[in-house]
Structure 1
Amino acid sequence: MSSKQDHKVSIRTIRVEDAEAILQIQREVISEHDYFIAVSKEFNKTTEDHQEWIRNILKHERETMLVAEFDGNVVGWIVFRSQERMRMHHTGSFAIMLQKEWRNKGIGKFMIHELLSWAEKHPVIEKVTLGTFSTNTRAIELYKKLGFIEEGRKVREFKFGNGEYVDDVLMYKLVK
């Protein structure tokens, strides 16, 4: 994959050894306060927690986690988690995180394409969903370009420290 700045980025399945790298990216994104539900002071995950999380995902047949890698360094990740209830096995949601300096280069789009390709080939997965802050307009536009449809909102779902409320925009894409 080539981005606008001719960076060669590859997408691969996560490995347990990536735990520290994805944890660091998650901490960075949380510290920005713009895109993640948790705030820094309540996020206390460890490398060991993430190693266990990765192991569980790798064992689960309806889940996957991919990383974007440049020059041997993980610069982003995307995770797809499925539903545990039998009547919801056909669906799941994803979350995506990229280091700030790697955003707006087409890498997020590339990761989502890879995830959707995985989902389309999966024998059970039919619906891919996500939730995002209504203020994350660039992401919402990307999701729409990739065929996601807004199916609803949780109005005033999140409240920021300054008293500002933000809706949770719920989107989906059918892959079968």
Structure 2
Amino acid sequence: MSISKDIDSYIVRIGKIEDAEAILDIQKSVVSEGEFLISVSEEFNKTSSQQKEWVQSILESENETLIVAEKDGEVVGWVVFEITKNRKRLSHTGSFGMLIRKGYRGLGIGKMLLKTLLEWAEKNPLIEKVSLGVFSTNHRAISLYKKMGFIEEGRKIKEFKFNDNEYVDDILMYKLVK
């Protein structure tokens, strides 16, 4: 499937293997912020070759996708949709993760990426349900997901521990696309 949209000088398109370094750079940057991802800096040590292998595996799958947003030739955000492989009873569903480079958040990039992902999922004959998990403290993301029609289906209480007295719930959300 070919996806390429030019929206307000941002290009939203299917990722390419050449995007692997930029995607990894955004991951490392967001991990270092310590606010939005499970991993902390000292445990996130993905190499460039591992990242390229991961991107390649997504691109080769009919039921997974990687979509990037770029501005002036620079990847500034991305969303990935992955399925649980080799599980027939889960083949109709998958989950996504999305990262936007700091400085580009709040500009509608996440909405563009998510809208494109949902359009892709609706056209995919296998995918019926799109899911995600989000920190309960990530209010901006939760607001976007709700605006895009996602519904909270559960919550893992105190799932993440930031320090001795600070816990965050994992909010599980979904949207049916068929």
TM-score calculated relative to the size of structure 1: 0.95
1:67 and 2:99 correspond:
no
- Secondary structure of 2:37's partner? coil
Structure 2 distance, partners of 1:141, 1:14, is 26
How far apart are 1:55 and its partner, in Å? 0.7
- What is residue 128 of structure 1 aligned with on the other side? 130
**Counterpart position of 1:114:** 116
Aligned position for 1:145: 147
Secondary structure of 1:144's counterpart equals: helix
Which residue in 2 is equivalent to 1:20? 21
SS of residue in 2 equivalent to 1:100 = coil
Counterpart of 1:81?
Answer: 82
Q: Secondary structure at the match of 1:101?
A: coil
Deviation at 1:163? 2.9
Question: In the TM superposition, what whole-angstrom CA distance separates every residue of 1:97-149 from its partner, at most 9, and x where no partner exists?
Answer: 00011100000000000000000000000000000000001110110000000
Cα separation, 2, equivalents of 1:38 and 1:83: 20
Matching of residue 11 in structure 1 with residue 18 in structure 2: no
AA aligned to 1:124 is L
The one-letter code sitting in structure 1 at the alignment partner of 2:60 is: K
Gapped regions of structure 2 (runs ≥ 5): 1-6
Of 101, 104, 109, 1:102 maps to 104
* Most deviating of 142-151 and 14-23: 14-23
CA distance in 1, matches of 2:140, 2:121: 23
* Shift, 1:162, TM fit: 4.8
- Cα distance in 1 for partners of 2:138, 2:165 equals 18
Matched residues in 1 for 2:143 and 2:90: separation?
Answer: 27
Name which of structure 1's ranges 158-167 and 73-82 shifts more when overlaid on structure 2: 158-167
Offset, 1:60: 1.1
Tell me which amino acid in the other structure corresponds to 1:71.
Answer: D
Distance in 1 (CA, whole Å) between partners of 2:164 and 2:158 is 14
Q: TM-score, normalised by structure 2?
A: 0.94
Moved over 6 A (4+): none
Matched pairs, number = 171
Identity %, equivalent residues:
58
- Point out where structure 1 has 5 or more consecutive residues left out of the alignment: 3-7
2:12 maps to a residue whose letter is I
